[in-house]
Amino acid sequence: GKYLYFISTRYFYPSAGQLDQRYNYYTTDGIFAVTLKADEASPFKPESDEEKTADQKKDEKKDEKKEEKKEDKKEEPVKPIQIDLEGISTRIVPVPVHPGILSGLAARKEKLFYVDTPQEARQFVPNAPRPRNALHLFDMTKREDKVLLESIDGYDLDKEGKKVIYKAGPVYGIVEATPGKAKVGDGKLNFSAMPVRVDPREEWRQVFHEAWRIERDFYWDPAMTGHDWKKLGARFEALLPWVVHRSDLNYLIGEMISELSTSHTYVGGGDQPERPHVNVGMLGADFEPDGGYFRITKIYPGENWSESTRSPLTEPGLKVKAGDYLIAVNGQETHPDRDVYSYFQDLAGKLVTLKVNSKSTPQGAWEISVKPANSEAGVRYLDWIATNRRKVEEATGGHIGYMHVPDTSFPGIIAFDKQFTAQLDKDGIIVDERYNSGGQIPDFYTEKLKRQLLAIVAPRDTADNPWPPVAIYGPKVMIVNELAGSGGDAFPWFFHREKIGPIVGTRTWGGLVGIGNSQPLRDGGFVTAPGFAFWSTDNGGEWIVEQHGVDPDYVVPQRPDLVVSGHDPQLEKAVELAKEALKDYRGIPPRPKYPSVKE
């Protein structure tokens, strides 16, 4: 009862971004101790560096034996802890460990345990394993900080701090709490020797009740927006006897929570039978039957440094182009009596030999080796963006840029920054957020889009730089549709609120609440409870967007007859508005004359 140890955000070392001169703080946590009594010495008071005498060493050993005897005795009643609150903030001292992203602090006799999360774990790297945490042990006596276990997800301790139970992926284990003596995999617990008998109907009943309680306890409105939740639960519980499969239970829970008429109420998973999946290798190309084989009509360009946007037929050294014929796959000739993709079943990610020719005949064909991708959605998406950008540039003489923002989570953030910073030379930009699937609350998008010109930096030997530099100062138009929702609802609402520019398209999805809790269910299933909603100060305070969406300034539907003929009515209207606004945009003025001293 002498000290209280805690983690606190007190280290501020700003880091500047490479794309934008904005600063953020990453490794801000430290471990600190506070003396509870005003007359208690710091646990890290300076120690003498003089060599201890033989008598002093003997006394220390005697004290250690006394402590051991105390531990063997019966536990004494816990005395009340005295805390002197006056001046307590001045008695805080740092524990000498490196700042970081720290959590899981636990104290045992003369030992502190804590988890250090690497900064890389907060980065979004597609298709890459997330770096795991390291469990540290700080020895208060030796004042040493050492790694106890690396690459874990979580841990707990026994009462004395002598044993650690850890989780690392699917592995659970128990090891000694001694640095340097254990690694992940040691002391592994064998759960396969622990069979569990389950009565499915009883488990389904418990899962149903738990799903009902999760909504009751975590839904954003304690009054459940006027619904009699107890009555609704009883109505759907009466159907439990007719549930004969775990999928039936998900359906029943889904019907129950749908009575709330609220977005972000999802249900899924559970103890379901595994279903086999057969992949199909994709080449990032279009085919059509021709001359008894398949002619390649288009090869989609990709970004081959990323697996999600890799276009296999564009990789270096392959002699293949649009107009060539696919003659054979792994020695099997292709013919139009079968679907072309049937030749690529279970070949994604595997080395495949293709026979291609400039004519629809095996004679003169040559072989190439490729590794088909698991999906070609990425390259087709990039092609759609490039086509739209080209249309906008051609229609505006290169003055207006175009970008598509697919979501408000990490992929969308990456797409936004890559496209926006690559078009800073444009006078204006069209922001297409159709099909935006949401993610986070996207004020970080509108913050960049609304930046105003503050000044112009004039270097002696290079061109002028507008400030802030990462900004487009001219007209901006947004395109929306009915399949943009959640964060994709918030983005246009913020865009409109900030008066950044007009919005074109159709009303958005209308799902602007957020998932506060996604609690696991007993059998691994899940149900989500929207834990917060949005309101604005308009009209004295009003709930916004949920169940309605964001209305565009210019309603433009995608007429099917125009779309199939190659038109994009919404994009074309956005271009029209941007061109009109360009007439009033003066751009960056020329540099004024240099000042001169008046004699």
Is the separation of the CB atoms in 556 and 477 below 8 Å?
A: no
Give the C-alpha separation, 556 to 568, whole Å. 10
pLDDT value for 493: 98
pLDDT for 547-561, tens place per residue?
999 999 999 999 999
Distance of CA 110 to the CA centre of its chain: 38
pLDDT for 95-112, tens place per residue?
999 999 999 999 999 999
Radius of gyration of the chain (CA): 32
pTM, two decimal places: 0.89
| Cα–Cα distances in angstroms (integers) from residue 25 to residues 10, 17, 285, 399, 592, in the given order | 11, 11, 44, 36, 39
- Give residue for tokens 């240099």: 594
Give the C-alpha separation, 117 to 133, whole Å. 5
Q: What CATH number does the domain located at 398-512+549-584 have?
A: 3.90.226.10
Nearest CA among 197, 230, 265 for reference residue 513: 265
pLDDT value for 37: 94
Most distant CA pair in the chain: distance in Å?
A: 100
Q: Helix or strand or coil: residue 487?
A: helix
- Beta strand 554-555 with 503-505 is parallel
Fold held by 3-43+80-176: Methylamine Dehydrogenase; Chain H (2.130.10)
In sequence order, what are the residues at sequence separation of 6 or more whose Cβ sits closer than 8 angstroms to the Cβ of residue 276?
none
Backbone angles phi, psi at 239, to 5 degrees: -90, -5
pLDDT for 209-240, tens place per residue?
999 999 999 999 999 999 999 999 999 999 99
| Cα–Cα distances in angstroms (integers) from residue 335 to residues 4, 237, 338, 339, in the given order | 75, 55, 6, 8
Taken in order 488, 493, 494, 495, the sign of the CA dihedral is positive
pLDDT value for 357: 97
Is the separation of the CB atoms in 496 and 545 below 8 Å?
A: no
Backbone angles phi, psi at 445, to 5 degrees: -75, -50
Q: How big is the chain, counted in residues?
A: 599
- Beta strand 428-432 with 400-404 is parallel
In sequence order, what are the residues at sequence separation of 6 or more whose Cβ sits closer than 8 angstroms to the Cβ of residue 48?
none
pLDDT for 126-159, tens place per residue?
767 777 899 999 999 999 999 999 999 999 999 9
pLDDT value for 63: 60
pLDDT for 444-488, tens place per residue?
999 999 999 999 999 999 999 999 999 999 999 999 999 999 999
* Average confidence (pLDDT) over 313-331: 96
pLDDT value for 53: 72
Give 299: exposed, middle or buried? Use CB within 10 Å, 0-12, 13-18, 19+: buried
Domain ranges of the chain: 3-43+80-176, 200-269, 285-373, 398-512+549-584
Q: What is the DSSP string of 309-347?
A: G--GGGSTT----TT-EEEEETTEEP-TTS-GGGGGBT-
CATH 3.40.47.10 correct for 200-269: no
Q: Which CATH architecture has domain 285-373?
A: Roll (2.30)
Give the C-alpha separation, 154 to 165, whole Å. 9
314-344 in b/e form (b: 16+ CB < 10 A) is beeeeebeeebbbbbbeeeebeeeeebeebb
pLDDT value for 213: 97
- Give residue for tokens 């308009």: 538
pLDDT for 286-307, tens place per residue?
999 999 999 999 999 999 999 9
In sequence order, what are the residues at sequence separation of 6 or more whose Cβ sits closer than 8 angstroms to the Cβ of residue 234?
none
Angle between helices 200-218 and 246-258 (to 10 degrees): 20
